[in-house]
Amino acid sequence: MRALLLKRLLQLVAVSWGVGTLTFFLMRALPGDMAYRIAASRYGMDAVDNRAADMVRAELGLDQSAWSAYWQWFTDLLSWNLGNSLVSGAPVTEQIWHMLGHSVLLALAGILLSILIAVPLGLASAFKGGWLDRVLLTISTALRAVPVFVIGLLAVIMFALEWNLLPVAGFGTPAHLVLPALTLALSLAAISNRVVHTEARRVFGSSFFEFARMKGLSPSQAFMRHGARNIAVPVVAFLGIQLITVVEGVVMIESLFSWPGIGHGLAHAIFARDIPLIQGAALMMGVLFVVMNTLVDIACHYLDPRGGQLS
Amino acid sequence: MSLIHIENLTVWAGQTELLAPMSLTLEKGQRLTILGQTGSGKSLLAQAIMGNLPSSLRTEGKVTLFGDEVNAKQRQRFWGHRISMLPQEPWNSLDPLMGAQPQLQETYQLVAGQSAGEARQSADYTLALQGLSDSGHKRVDQLSGGMAQRVAIACAMAGGASVLLADEPTKGLDVSRRDQVVEQLLTQSEQGTLITITHDVAVARKIGGHMMVIKAGELVEEGDAEQILKAPQHAFTQALIEADPVNWPAPEPSTQTDKRLLDVEDLTIGYGTSALTKHLSFTLDEGEVVGVVGDSGCGKSTLGDTLLGVQQPLGGRIKRQRQAAVQQWQKLYQDPTAAVSRAVSLRTLLEDTIKLHNIDRARIAPLMQQLGLTDALLNRNSEGVSGGELQRFCMLRVLLLDPVFLFADEPTSRLDPVTQRDVSKLLVDVAKQNGCAVMLVSHDPDLIAKRCDRVINLNH
């Protein structure tokens, strides 16, 4: 266990450095004058002229070389100082903490909801087969074939505009969470219900499941004692792989629903060329990814002890 | 009241009759032995009696259990506590994620209706009786085949069923374990009735009782077991009995070359930190055929992996006295279906081997003829040929590489006796002709005695 955590900590450092550095140079490589973009974000497009841009340039020290800017960012990072936003001037750490809470809430709600959708449907289609299996396969394929923002738009049109059941966008009340979480959950469940289905079929058809029945366990006892855990092992591992879909989906969905999370913040920061905020947001997503993968690995180990010691 | 009464039970796949009408009646304390080759429909009969045939198959006929006529669905309620079946492949029949003891304990608790405390005691007691006290926490991947077999038998019996079906209960067990299992079955059958399905004449002889001999889904001979085994009437029964290794002719000794192939000194083998066998010293000459015997779990397969360099020895030295390419040190697996991909035809697999090693195509036809393989067979995949044919195909692939050493790990234990005799003879003969040294692993001392020049016993 300690070995695994140590290894993951090193990975965390590597990911942080890699993501931060990559975003830094990618942002520098974008065409256009950074000072203009930042000034436009501060004062509005119409109020920008050379003077305003020069003021921004002087204030933020944008004319220093890329290497010295990078070096400064790097030494700041070592003291856990992500700098100040180039647009608002507020500390990036503060903004990111604020956005992170919203993103984690959305991600967890989406994952949980996707499990609640995928597991019963996957098990039912494996158990029953026939038309239920074919219908679910069709829906899953269709949902997976469209980008996640199309699912979101359809949800908005149906639940918010047509039926007036839920707010279109924004945040604050639990009702605001429903549509973004549902959109994320649907795009995740579209695949995970098929994984549950396949694994359940494998277990239901296995010799050990048949023998559990043969030695006298009832179907429900055989499922609880020998089915559930054997199905869970590959499914949980798949949820780990799916985390990348979660990160991807969160960026899209937050922008669509104006959900004030990290994805939304990242998109805005990119338009405003707010490099410290971009770096901070990307960094935090990388960190989240490593942490959640570690949690999945630990869960897999306890479900399936065959892999030996955690390392 | 008879415990089990069956009238004209047949099994159909669509319009094809897989099992001709079978009838039988068993009272308390009676035993039935069904003898037949692999693929003869013996297992279909067992599954039809249990009521767990795949839904693609259809049964006809009447099954009466404990005086009530019951259909397949109703029979499921009897599973475990009134009628039970021993699995054929215990290593696939135990939960891969759960230890042996909990799987046994849950059966005592949920099926036999004991309290949690009683069930734990019963499970511990039964494991101790089977010599598995130290293995209760182990999962099936940590147990040897024989140990898994004993755990599975204990699970099948824990519910207290009085009708017990045993489908090849001794497959892959060494003789001492085999006799133990047979004893266990006989003791159990005193309380009820026992139906044993086997291709092993020795097992049939020990269990005795009433006997049915089945060939290709048809009953060829029926009567008292002792009578049939002493004076078989049908040609098929005679062939089966002749194929028992006890009745094989004595081996011709190999021509000794006295050229040393392998020196093994003070070898310790095992996994991780646990040693399976220690202080093993022996030599092997070119072209020699040596048998390897030992209890299940003593490290027979591990010895092979260590000699082939697949696994590191824990101690001691292995010295190869002859320089040969890595692919000339070969292994033949116990289960040919696990060693051959079923995704492509056998011809594709053979072509891959030829291309990879630049093998002269002119050598293939004569070798195939010697192994009794036809060209048409190569068009099928591994599922379309019999176990014996597939094992001979594996031998073809191995022999094309001009092996100097072949570790044959129970290469015939999954084959029926007639095929076993032919394949093992072929293996030894062809290896001798090609000057290849063979280490033949088997749990059957009779087979080793009839095929090998000398024996290494891992138990000492």
pLDDT 10s digits, B122-180: 889 888 888 888 888 888 888 877 788 888 888 888 888 888 888 888 776 777 778 88
CA-nearest residue to B98 within chain A is A226
Q: Give the phi and the psi of residue B280 in degrees, each rounded to 5.
A: -100, 120
Half-sphere exposure of B169 (CA within 13 A, CB side): 34
Report how far residue A175's alpha carbon sits from residue A159's, in angstroms, rounded to the nearest whole number: 11
Give SS3 for A310.
coil
Chain B hits for A199, Cβ within 8 Å: none
pLDDT band for A47, please (50, 70, 90 cuts). low
* Residue among A306, A303, A301 at smallest CA distance from A1: A301
DSSP helix/strand/coil, A301: helix
- From the list B92, B94, B111, which residue is nearest A216 (CB)? B111
Give the integer Cα–Cα distance in Å for A188 and B454. 62
Smallest Cα distance from B111 to chain A, Å: 6
**What's the rounded mean pLDDT across residues A179-196?**
90
The verdict on residue B253 lying in a domain is no
How far away is chain B from the Cα of A306, in angstroms, using its nearest Cα?
7
Residues B313 and B224 in one domain: no
pTM exceeds 0.80: no
**Which CATH number fits the domain that encloses residue B311?**
3.40.50.300
Residues A263-295 pLDDT 10s = 888 888 887 777 778 888 888 888 888 888 888
Q: Do A217 and B111 touch (CB under 8 A)?
A: yes
Q: Is residue B249 part of a domain?
A: no
How many whole angstroms separate alpha carbon B88 and alpha carbon A211? Answer: 10
Question: What is the C-alpha separation between B93 and A241, in angstroms, rounded?
Answer: 30
How would residue B406 be classed by pLDDT, with cut points 50, 70 and 90? very high
Query: Once rounded to an integer, what is the mean pLDDT over residues A48-63?
Result: 73
- B251 part of a folded domain: no
Tell whether B202 is covered by a domain.
Answer: yes
Total number of domains constituting chain B:
2
User: What token pair was written down for A104?
Assistant: 């984690």
Domains and CATH numbers, chain A: 2-91 (no CATH), 93-307 (1.10.3720.10)
By C-alpha distance, the chain A residue nearest B157 is: A215
Tell me which residue in B92, B94, B110 faces A221 most closely, judged by beta carbons: B110
Mean pLDDT of all residues belonging to chain A: 83
- Using CA coordinates, name the residue in chain A closest to B155: A215
Domain boundary among B191, B214, B244: B244
Binding-face residues of B in 206-235 toward A, CB within 8 A: none
Q: Which of A204, A215, A304 to mutate to test the interface with B (most CBs of B within 10 A)?
A: A215
| B chain contacts of residue A211, beta-carbon cutoff 8 Å | 87, 93-94, 152, 155-156
Answer whether A213 sits within 8 Å of B139, measured CB to CB.
Answer: no
The alpha carbons of chain B give a radius of gyration, in whole angstroms, of 24
Is pLDDT above 70 for B42?
yes
- Any CB–CB contact under 8 A between B94 and chain A? yes
In a domain, B254, yes or no: no
Within this chain, do residues B268 and B235 fall inside the same structural domain, yes or no?
no
A299 part of contact set with chain B, CB < 8 Å = no
Whether B217 and B361 share a structural domain: no
Q: Residue A300: closest CA among chain B residues belongs to which residue?
A: B97
- CB contacts, 8 Å: A208 with chain B: 92-96
B19 is a domain residue = yes
| Chain B interface includes A215 (CB < 8 A) | yes
Cβ contacts of B227 within 8 Å, gap of 6 or more: none
Q: What is the ipTM, given to two decimal places?
A: 0.72
Q: With 80 as the cut, is the pLDDT of residue A17 above it?
A: yes
Q: How far is CA B271 from CA A190, B329, B457, in A?
A: 43, 21, 20
Give whole-number Cα distances, A259 to A171, A173, B7, B92, in Å. Answer: 6, 12, 72, 50
Answer yes or no: is pLDDT of A311 > 60: no
What domain range is B274 assigned to? 260-457
- Residue A35: count other Cβ atoms within 10 Å of its Cβ: 23
Q: If you write DSSP's letter for every residue of A193-254 in order, what string do you get?
A: HHHHHHHHHHHHTSHHHHHHHHTT--HHHHIIIIIHHHHHHHHHHHHHHHHHHHHHHHHHHH
Mark whether B91 and B230 lie in a shared domain.
yes
B313 close to B306: Cβ distance less than 8 angstroms: yes
Residue B83 pairs in a beta bridge with B79, B163
Q: Work out the pLDDT band at B254, boundaries 50, 70, 90.
A: low
What's the pLDDT at A261?
84
CA B285 to chain centre: 30
Please give the single-letter amino acid code of residue A49. D
Cα of B151 to nearest chain A Cα, Å: 12
Statement to judge: residues B32 and B76 lie in one domain: yes
Res B26 pLDDT > 70: yes
Look at residues B194, B210, B244 and tell me which one is the last residue of a structural domain.
Answer: B244
Q: Which residue's entry shows tokens 């049908």?
A: B234
Best A214, A226, A231 residue to mutate vs chain B (most B CBs within 10 Å): A214
Provide the CB-side half-sphere exposure for A99 (13 A, CA): 29
Contact between A217 and B152 using a beta-carbon 8 Å cutoff: no
SS3 label, residue A91: strand
- Maximum pairwise Cα distance, chain A: 85
Residues B225 and B321 in one domain: no
Q: Cβ contacts of residue A157 below 8 Å, gap of 6+?
A: none
Cβ proximity of B282 and B425 under 8 Å: no
8 Å CB contact of A208 and B94: yes
Q: Does B98 contact chain A (CB < 8 Å)?
A: yes
Say whether B93 and A217 touch across the interface (CB within 8 A): no
Cβ of A128 under 8 Å from any chain B Cβ? no
CB pairs under 8 A between A and B: 74
Taking the C-alpha atoms of residue A218 and residue B259, their distance in angstroms, rounded to an integer, is 62
A203, closest residue in chain B (CA to CA): B95
When CB atoms are compared, the residue of B79, B98, B141 closest to A214 is: B79
List CB contacts (< 8 A) between A233 and chain B: 97
Instruction: Report the amino acid identity of residue B444.
Output: D
Say yes or no: B216 and B269 in one domain.
Answer: no
8 Å CB contact of B107 and A213: no
Average of per-residue pLDDT across B239-261: 78
Confidence category of residue A113, pLDDT binned at 50, 70, 90: very high
Residue B252 lies inside a defined structural domain of this protein:
no
Could you read off the pLDDT of A217-248 as tens digits, one per residue?
Answer: 888 888 898 988 899 888 988 888 888 888 88
Q: Sign of dihedral through CA atoms B65, B68, B70, B76?
A: negative
Same domain, residue pair B192 and B266 = no
Residues of B in contact with A210 (CB under 8 A): 52, 93
Both B238 and B305 in one domain: the answer is: no
d(CA A141, CA B222): 57
Whole-number mean pLDDT of chain B? 84
Residues B290 and B418 in one domain: yes
B192 plus B276 within the same structural domain: no
Last residue of a domain, one of B215, B244, B273: B244
Please tell me the distance from the alpha carbon of residue B114 to that of residue B337, in angstroms, as a whole number: 41
Q: How far apart are CA A151 and CA A148, in angstroms?
A: 5
Are residues B397 and B269 located together in one domain of the fold? yes
